[in-house]
Structures are given as structure tokens and as C-alpha cells.
Amino acid sequence: MLGLEIWIAGVMLISLIIYMLTGGADFGGGIWDLFATGKRAKSQRDLITHALAPIWEANHVWLIVIIVLLFAAFPVAFATIGTALHIPLTLMLFGIVLRGTAFVFRTYDDQSETTHLRWSRVFAIASIITPIMLGVTLGAVASGTIHVNIETGHVDTDFISSWLTPFPFAIGFFTLALCGLIAAVYLTLETDDPELREDFRIRALIAAFSVGLMAGISFLLSAEGAPSIRRGLGNSVWSIPFHFLTGAVSIWTIWSIWRRHFHLARVLVPIQVVLIILGWGFAQYPYLVSPNLTFSNTAAPNSVLRPILIIVVIGVIILVPAFWYLYAVFKGKSRTDTISEDKTSL
């Protein structure tokens, strides 16, 4: 029977998946905002703005769920990660705050071209830094370079060497490519303009090939950069079928984008992301922070875990319908209708 800590770890993994599929798309929108080019650059940025504006800040709730559960259910791991990875976590926090601030000021500040461009650059650069630092953090946690004395809680770190290595940054750029892919595919269905749709189709293809490239580089670097992950992905009974399944979905995704089956791609990309994150989670198990912090030896007592799970169940009952209603209200109509209404109101 699975322990309570494994159930909570499962909730954290699911929250990470949801955050990548929602918040990751928001970051990807910022990426393509930076690379908006050509005679339709303004239209591309307008589409990204209208796609993000209604709900994008709400998506950070899933990151908050992960942080709170890590703090409450796995306090030793929380302290270890917060200490050893203080710098990338701080950069990630700055990125989240700066992109939110820039997005608001870009919308409501002086609408001159110079001011708008300045805030757009801040928004886009922060949107790139944040997913990279998220991936760097996940890569460092899996790399086996963070050492802590479980009995004393002392973390042996210089605050740099545990994350400033090739493997964490490969995961960082892998995460960035995934965000770009999610956003580009979503944006193909946010407009009825065939030219804009084609712009984001091309970006989706570029991102899809980048995801494949970074996946290969990350796997090669894991031999030395994350031995436990490499063993999990290379030697486990489930790993080979899982690789074939993930690869097949990835190829199908590229084919669907190439053939302009955008609704199919919209279904396949989330499946691809789910498989990638699940594969990472299975390969990482039983370690929460490799090489010596497991889910079991860092978990809080059952007297703490039990009420946490009860609160999680109550939270799901409240949160899921609230998010469904939020999406139904703001994403139920086509973006074309919304943009047309905005122009009419002006």
C-alpha cells in the first residue's frame, strides 16, 4: 500500500503537469512575443495579449500548490532545495514578478511605441528566464550534486556548483522549448486569420524540433549529469515502452502540425508533455532530491500528512470547478469575437 507521502508526491507531480500546460503556455506566449517579426508582428503580439489576458495570472496557483505541499509535507527537502538552489529560484521569482508587472504596464501605461516596446521586451525576456530557471532547478534536483546531512539538516553547498553545470541548463532549455511548443500550438486555435495561424504553425514546428533536440542532448548529458535519472530512463522495465510511446506521440504531433491538423495537435501536445513529466517523475523515484533525500526519509509524520491530504481533497473540490468556470467564461468565445468586441468598444 502506498504511503501518504507518495499520494502527496503524486499531487505535486500532477500540479507540475497542469502548471506546464497552463503557465508554461503563458511563458511560451512571452517567447513568441519577443520573436514577433514581419509585417504581422503587431498582430502576433495582439493575439498573444488577448490569449493571455483573461486567465494567465490564475495559472500560478499550481506552482503555489507545489511549493506549499513541499514545505508542509517534505520540510527537509524544502529547506535543502531552498538553500542549495537559492540563486535560480530567486531568478525564477524575479522573472515571474517582472513578467506580470511588464504585462500590466504594457497594457495600461502610455501607449506610445517606445513605452510599449520597452515593456514588451521586459515581458518577453522575463518569460524566457523563468522557464529556464524552472528547468535548471528540476535538473539540479535530479543531478545528485546536492548533499545534505539528514540528521543535522546541514546542506553542503557553495550555492553555485550544484546547478551551474551542463545538465541542469539542458533541462532548462528543454523546458523553454516545451513552453514554446505548447504556446505556439495553442495560438494556432486562438485566431481565424489564416496568415496568423500559419505564423504560429511555423513557430510550432521550430519548437517541436527544438524539443526533440533538447531531449536528446539532455539524455546524453544525464550519463554524467544525472546518473539516477539515466538509470531510470535506460534500465527500468517500463522505460523502453515509455520511450517508444513518447516518441510516437512526438512524431504524431509534428505530423499533425505539418498537415495543419491544429485541433489534433492541440490534443497531442498536452499528451506529449504529460508523458515527458511522468517519465521524469518515474525515473526520479524514490528520490525527491538525489542522491540521499527520498520521499520517505524527508516526509513529515502521518499526523501532518493526513490533514494535508484532507485539505488537498477539499481544495480540489473547490478549485477544479472554479477553474472550469473561469475558462468557460473567458475562453468560451473565439478570440476573434473577443478582439472584434474590444475594437468595437474603442
pLDDT at 90: 96
The number of distinct structural domains making up the chain is 1
CATH number at residue 253: 1.20.1630
Q: Tell me if 10 is assigned to some domain.
A: yes
Has residue 213 been placed in a domain? Answer: yes
Q: Give a yes or no: residue 330 inside a domain.
A: no
Domain annotation covers residue 106: yes
- Residue numbers in the chain where pLDDT is lower than 50: 334-346
Q: Which domain holds residue 113?
A: 4-307
**Secondary structure element (H or E) that encloses residue 155, with its range:** strand 155-156
Residue 303 in domain = yes
pTM for this prediction: 0.91
Residue 331 lies in a domain: no
160-208 pLDDT per residue, tens: 999 999 999 999 999 999 999 999 999 999 889 999 999 999 999 999 9
User: 113 in a domain, yes or no?
Assistant: yes
Output phi, psi for 294, to 5 deg: -100, 170
- The set of cell numbers assigned to 183 is 504556446
336 inside domain: no
DSSP codes of every residue in 275-309: HHHHHHHHHHTTEEETTTEETTTTPPPHHHHHHHH
Asked if 254 and 266 touch (Cβ cutoff 8 Å), the reply is no
**Tens of pLDDT along 274-320?**
999 999 999 998 899 988 899 999 999 999 999 999 999 999 999 88
Give the Cα separation of 64 and 61 in Å (integer): 5
Residues paired with residue 293 on neighbouring β-strands, in sequence order: 289
Give the pLDDT score at 104: 82
Residue-level pLDDT at 339? 41
